[in-house]
């Protein structure tokens, strides 16, 4: 029996959270689930939870505030709020990649519709337009020409909320029908998979098929560097290859889903995560 209590923070129990709970049980770790929807945060110095918090909350907003609140009262969080904020915003991720020299497709960040159109012209067509917040490939668009870019960005400008004025415009990478997901735990790459799809968006959530992928030294280094750039933790790094085989990091996911990766690797991913979490406080 471990002396550490682990609090799994989640409002939705997916296959990943169930696997993590089973891994905690398997190691005899005291644990419970904290649903952020039930949390009433009173700023105080009393610990909100007793133990290390594994943040698996599906909502970026709830994950950020919960992690911040727990940290303010002395709790260890994985991932911590800074990492969550950095990964949850593609503009901040792009800035972190640049600061740490991580290879990534050319990315321009704009704060208005006209600037975004100008950025598309600057990048050249086809260009990829991404909202700074969002996941599972939602609202990510490849625009083939200026007319399409102008139309799409005009639509984006009508969406409620100032966040929609912030846009990432990125070089489109002509990839070989797949990208790569690497799971980083702590500072270590643990496993990787290809995600194959007929569609240029190769998100597992959009139906991409997982396939085993060898963690070559180059892939491991790039993924580790990308994870370190945002602060390290339990992270899913998305990597794309161009047709010349050059590897580039696309983004880092703080609430990484790993059921697809688990289906193509013998590594017990949930147990590796739990081992890392326990190692932070033991």
Partner 1 sequence: MSTVACPDCAASVPVPGEALVSEILVCRECDSELEVVGVDPPLLARAPEVEEDWGE
Under the binding rule (CB under 8 A), the answer on residue 12 touching partner 1 is: yes
Q: How far is the CB of 236 from partner 1 (least distance, A)?
A: 6
What own/partner pairs with CB < 8 Å and gap ≥ 24 does 264-269 have? 264/193, 264/210, 264/211, 264/212, 264/213, 265/191, 265/193, 265/212, 267/190, 267/191, 268/23, 269/19, 269/183, 269/190, 269/191
Q: How far is the CB of 211 from partner 1 (least distance, A)?
A: 19
Instruction: Give the residues across from 129 on adjacent strands.
Output: 141, 169
Under the binding rule (CB under 8 A), the answer on residue 79 touching partner 1 is: no
Q: How far is the CB of 101 from partner 1 (least distance, A)?
A: 24
What own/partner pairs with CB < 8 Å and gap ≥ 24 does 140-145 have? 140/201, 142/172, 142/200
Give whole-number Cα distances, 66 to 24, 38, 142, 256, 270, in Å. 21, 11, 34, 17, 22
Under the binding rule (CB under 8 A), the answer on residue 253 touching partner 1 is: yes
Q: Are the C-beta atoms of 32 and 7 separated by less than 8 Å?
A: yes
Residues in the chain: 282
Give the nearer residue to partner 1 in terms of CB position, either 123 or 210: 210
Under the binding rule (CB under 8 A), the answer on residue 35 touching partner 1 is: yes
Q: How far is the CB of 128 from partner 1 (least distance, A)?
A: 17
| Among the residue ranges 113-121, 165-173, 247-255, 267-275, the one whose residues contact partner 1 (CB under 8 A) | 247-255
Q: ∠ CA(66), CA(70), CA(74), 5° rounding?
A: 165
Under the binding rule (CB under 8 A), the answer on residue 133 touching partner 1 is: yes
Size of the site for partner 1 (CB under 8 A): 26
Under the binding rule (CB under 8 A), the answer on residue 126 touching partner 1 is: no
How far is Cα 252 from Cα 107, in angstroms, rounded to an integer?
15
For the record, the structure tokens of 266 come out as 């013998």
Cα-based torsion angle of the residue sequence 162, 99, 250, 143 in order, rounded to the nearest 10 degrees: 50
Q: How far is the CB of 79 from partner 1 (least distance, A)?
A: 12
How far is Cα 239 from Cα 244, in angstroms, rounded to an integer?
14
Give the nearer residue to partner 1 in terms of CB position, either 20 or 123: 20
Under the binding rule (CB under 8 A), the answer on residue 202 touching partner 1 is: no
Give the nearer residue to partner 1 in terms of CB position, either 100 or 138: 138
Under the binding rule (CB under 8 A), the answer on residue 136 touching partner 1 is: yes
Under the binding rule (CB under 8 A), the answer on residue 83 touching partner 1 is: no
- Maximum CA extent, the chain: 63
Give the nearer residue to partner 1 in terms of CB position, either 123 or 252: 252
Per-residue binding string, partner 1, 55-74, x by CB under 8 A, is: ---xxxx-------------
- Give the binding site for partner 1 (CB under 8 A): 10-14, 18, 21, 33, 35, 58-61, 88, 133-136, 138, 205, 236, 253-257
């Amino acid at each position: 029996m471990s002396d550490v209590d682990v609090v799994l923070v989640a409002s939705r129990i997916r296959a990943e959270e169930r696997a993590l709970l089973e891994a905690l049980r398997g190691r005899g770790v005291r644990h419970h689930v904290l649903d952020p929807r039930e949390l009433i945060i009173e700023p105080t110095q009393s610990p909100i939870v007793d133990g290390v918090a594994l943040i698996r909350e599906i909502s970026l907003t709830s994950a950020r505030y919960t992690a911040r609140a727990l940290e303010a009262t002395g709790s260890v969080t994985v991932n911590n709020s800074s990492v969550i904020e950095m990964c949850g915003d593609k503009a901040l991720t792009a800035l972190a990649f640049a600061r740490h020299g991580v290879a990534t497709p050319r990315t321009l960040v704009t704060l208005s519709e006209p600037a975004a159109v100008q950025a598309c012209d600057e990048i050249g067509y086809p260009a990829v337009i991404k909202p700074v917040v969002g996941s599972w490939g939602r609202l990510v668009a490849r625009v083939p020409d200026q007319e399409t870019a102008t139309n799409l960005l005009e639509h984006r400008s009508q969406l409620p909320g100032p966040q929609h004025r912030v846009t990432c415009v990125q070089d489109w990478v002509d990839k070989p029908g797949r990208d790569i997901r690497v799971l980083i735990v702590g500072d270590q790459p643990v496993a990787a998979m290809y995600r194959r799809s007929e569609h240029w968006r190769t998100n597992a959530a959009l139906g991409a098929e997982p396939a085993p992928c060898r963690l070559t030294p180059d892939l491991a280094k790039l993924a580790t560097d990308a994870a370190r750039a945002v602060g390290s933790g339990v992270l899913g790094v998305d990597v794309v290859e161009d047709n010349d085989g050059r590897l580039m990091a696309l983004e880092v996911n703080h609430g990484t889903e790993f059921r697809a990766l688990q289906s193509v690797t013998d590594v017990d991913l949930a147990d590796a995560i739990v081992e890392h979490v326990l190692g932070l406080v033991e």
